[in-house]
Amino acid sequence: MYVANSTQRVVAVDESPTQISLYERSVEPLGAELRAFRNAADALDHLTNSDVDLLFLDLVMTDTEGLTFLRAVRAIERHANLTVVVVTSKDYAQDRVLAKELGAVDYLVKPLRSQEIREIICKYTDAQA
């Protein structure tokens, strides 16, 4: 059983309905608040006006390349130090390096299991197992 000390605000940006569903199933037992977006534009609008504790970001998106999106997030003053975890099907060394340079704390290659997502949330937020 997982318990959050306070409501953790998690954002997931991924075009895949299957992946979004996985995030929803993973976050629910933690009592965290999940906002999931299937496109970068809507996610960026949300991030511009909202506080967030953790961002899961896919690099492969139709409307914006993930690292370009991450640069835009970093340009938002309130999210200059936002905890970002890249979760993607792209396992390229260059992307890993660039993601780390842009402040991503982790780079995970799909597929993931719910347990792994919960562990990541607990690792980088106040949620506890």
Residue 129 lies in a domain: no
What was the pLDDT predicted at 128? 64
Residue 120 lies in a domain: yes
Overall number of domains in the chain: 1
Q: Determine the Cα–Cα distance for residues 93 and 97; give it in Å rounded to an integer.
A: 6
What was the pLDDT predicted at 6? 67
Tokens of 24: 């929803």
Contact 44, 69 (CB under 8 A): yes
Residue 101 lies in a domain: yes
Residue 57 lies in a domain: yes
What was the pLDDT predicted at 71? 97
Give pLDDT tens digits for 76-91.
999 999 999 999 998 9
Residue 91 lies in a domain: yes
Q: Which domain holds residue 24?
A: 3-124
What was the pLDDT predicted at 16? 95
Residue 21 lies in a domain: yes
pTM: 0.93
List phi, psi (to 5°) of 128.
-130, 145
**96: CATH:** 3.40.50.2300
Residue 58 lies in a domain: yes
Looking at residue 75, what DSSP letter applies? T
Q: Kindly give the parts of the chain with pLDDT less than 50.
A: 1-5
Residue 66 lies in a domain: yes
What was the pLDDT predicted at 1? 44
What was the pLDDT predicted at 119? 96
The closest alpha carbon to 57, from 35, 87, 93, 19, belongs to 87
Q: Which residues pair with 107 in a beta bridge?
A: 86
